[in-house]
Amino acid sequence: MTFRGGPVLGIESSCDETSAAVVESGRVLGHVILSQDAHAVYGGVVPEIAARQHLAHIDGVVARTLEEAGLEPSDLGGVGVTAGPGLVGALLVGLNWAKGFAYALGLPAIGVHHMEAHLYANSLDSPDASPPFVALLVSGGHTLLLYAPRWGTYQLLGATRDDAVGEAFDKVARRLGLGFPGGPEIEKLARRGRAGTHRLPRPMLSRRDTPADSAYFDFSFSGLKTAVSLRVADIEAEATGDDLEAARADLAAEFQEAVVHVLVAKTMRAVEHTGCSRVLLGGGVARNGPLRQRLADALAPAGELFAPSPRLSTDNAAMVARLAEHRLQAGEADGLDLNADPGFPFPGLSEVERTG
């Protein structure tokens, strides 16, 4: 099936957002994001519940999206859907819905990679957000530092060796007695606290490492999470009432500061190493105000930072539709054998050769 132009419908269901969007020539015509609140009481996403919620809501979400765009299904030119990585049951709902819809309407369909779509979120807000660039992708499941000489070709500079950044925010929030998702809760609490009161490590920032060492660009957040947990136990043993609340806020501020410091330092290493000072930020943690601010400051005055608007930073279907449109325009499409792939490898990714 070939793509003959026209609006592209995107579907996202890899985790706990059921989302649909219509994009044409990089412009969003309609976009609905339904964040499932059924998980909050469990303090994390329950895969089985996520899949069932997607199934219950996907028809309505697409109908509202088409209505917002003022389009009928027959006006569409193609369909794009997140095929992975993600929760397999959740992915299957969106993927099978998209394949059935494309088959019924005779439209070309394409499966896209969720994290590559997070990169494309930037090109919806700013058409100039194009390669070459260094990318920092920070979500609940991934932490990736990439260099992209062109769309579809990515060099992996660094990744997390254990927890993803968003996962660390979520787990630390839980330890501090905050709600889920934890990132926004930590950011809010940190505003009332002072970094530096409780000193935490800045993991993987040895001055002795060189670009030939994988530790130079890699991340690790699980030790930091444990350090927070130990300090929480200390302060809970020492303080009560308002003092305890103040100590919690100080700890949230120090944790956020440690994470932001490491993310900015590693990104600046990548900028120096590649000689490319255009940086794209993507993924849910890109919503974090201090991260955006500090990265922008570090890159000024010569570099440029692109970060998606808050709505396009966390999971959404507009980024999926944008990437799908790009690939359909390039003549690519998938057949009906397209399957959900929870471990979908990042397309076009090559490892950097290291001598050390």
Q: Which residues bind ligand KG4 (CB under 6 A)?
A: 15, 139-141, 166, 169-170, 181-184, 187, 283-285, 287-288, 314-315
Residue 221 touches which of ligand KG4, Zn ion, none (Cβ within 5-8 Å per kind): none
Should residue 13 be labelled a site residue for Zn ion when binding is judged by CB under 5 A?
A: no
Residue 82 touches which of Zn ion, ligand KG4, none (Cβ within 5-8 Å per kind): none
Pick from 16, 254, 257, 315 the residue near Zn ion by CB under 5 A: 315
DSSP string, 138-158: E-SS-EEEEEEEETTEEEEEE
Residue 160 touches which of ligand KG4, Zn ion, none (Cβ within 5-8 Å per kind): none
CA distances from 150 to 62, 82, 106, 146, 185 (A): 32, 21, 31, 12, 36
Should residue 36 be labelled a site residue for Zn ion when binding is judged by CB under 5 A?
A: no
Residue 169 touches which of Zn ion, ligand KG4, none (Cβ within 5-8 Å per kind): ligand KG4
Residue number, 108 or 183, with CB nearest to ligand KG4: 183
**Closest distance between ligand KG4 and the C-beta of residue 294, in Å?**
13
Residue number, 3 or 221, with CB nearest to ligand KG4: 221
The whole-angstrom separation of Cα 160 and Cα 174 is 21
Residue 51 touches which of Zn ion, ligand KG4, none (Cβ within 5-8 Å per kind): none
**Closest distance between ligand KG4 and the C-beta of residue 173, in Å?**
7
Place of tokens 């819905």: 97
Residue 116 touches which of Zn ion, ligand KG4, none (Cβ within 5-8 Å per kind): none
**Closest distance between ligand KG4 and the C-beta of residue 17, in Å?**
7
The tokens describing 204, both together, are 């993987």
**Closest distance between Zn ion and the C-beta of residue 139, in Å?**
4
**Amino acid making up residue 211:** P
**Closest distance between ligand KG4 and the C-beta of residue 98, in Å?**
18
DSSP string, 181-222: SHHHHHHHHHTTS-TTSS----TT--TT--TTSGGGT-B--H
**From the centroid of its chain, how far is CA 184?**
14
The whole-angstrom separation of Cα 217 and Cα 76 is 42
The tokens describing 187, both together, are 């950011």
| Longest CA–CA separation in the chain, Å | 67
**Amino acid making up residue 21:** A
Residue number, 66 or 280, with CB nearest to ligand KG4: 280
Chain residues that interact with Zn ion, rule: CB under 5 A:
139, 315
